[in-house]
Amino acid sequence: MNVESVRADIVEIGRRMYSRGYTASNDGNISVRIAPDRLLMTPKSVCKGFMTPDMMCVTDLTGKKIQGDRDPSSEMLMHLEVYRQRPDVKAVVHAHPPTATGFAVAGIPLDRAVLAEVLTTLGSIPLAEYATPSTAELPDAVRKYIKAHDGMLLANHGALTVGGDLFSAYYKMETIEHFAKISLVARMLGGENLISREEVVRLQGLRGTYGIQAPAPICLDPDVPLGPGQTAQVVVAGGDDATCQTVQAPAGSGSRLVPDLIDARRRGAGDEAEIRLTYRELSALIEDAIRNLR
Output 24 or 251, the one with its CB closest to Zn ion.
Answer: 24
Please state the closest distance from residue 51 (CB atom) to Zn ion, in A: 16
- The Cα 116–Cα 85 span in angstroms is 28
72 to 7, 108, 118, 263, 270: CA distances (angstroms): 14, 31, 32, 44, 57
- Radius of gyration (C-alpha) of the chain in whole angstroms: 23
What is the number of the residue whose Cβ is closest to Zn ion?
A: 158
Selected range binding Zn ion among 11-19, 152-160, 175-183, 197-205, rule: CB under 5 A: 152-160
Output 22 or 247, the one with its CB closest to Zn ion.
Answer: 22
Please state the closest distance from residue 154 (CB atom) to Zn ion, in A: 7
Q: Is 158 in the site for Zn ion (CB under 5 A)?
A: yes
Marked catalytic residue, from 12, 75, 177, 198: 75
Output 129 or 263, the one with its CB closest to Zn ion.
Answer: 129
Say which residues have a Cβ less than 8 Å from residue 56's Cβ, sequence separation at least 6.
7, 10, 40, 41, 42, 43, 68
Please state the closest distance from residue 63 (CB atom) to Zn ion, in A: 17
- Of the candidates 64, 70, 1, 67, the one whose C-alpha atom is nearest the C-alpha of residue 32 is 1
- The Cα 161–Cα 29 span in angstroms is 11
Q: Which amino acid is at 167?
A: F
Please state the closest distance from residue 125 (CB atom) to Zn ion, in A: 16
Q: Which amino acid is at 288?
A: D
- Determine whether 281 is an active site residue: no
DSSP H helices, 211-278, are: 261-267
Selected range binding Zn ion among 66-74, 100-108, 153-161, 185-193, rule: CB under 5 A: 153-161
Provide DSSP, 18-61: HHTTS--TT--EEEEEEETTEEEEPBTT--GGG--GGG-EEE-T
Site string for Zn ion, 112-151 (x = CB under 5 A): ----------------------------------------
Selected range binding Zn ion among 36-44, 134-142, 154-162, 274-282, rule: CB under 5 A: 154-162
Q: Is 217 in the site for Zn ion (CB under 5 A)?
A: no
Please state the closest distance from residue 129 (CB atom) to Zn ion, in A: 15
- The Cα 55–Cα 69 span in angstroms is 7
Output 11 or 131, the one with its CB closest to Zn ion.
Answer: 131
Residues of this chain that bind Zn ion (CB under 5 A): 158
Cite the active site residues: 75
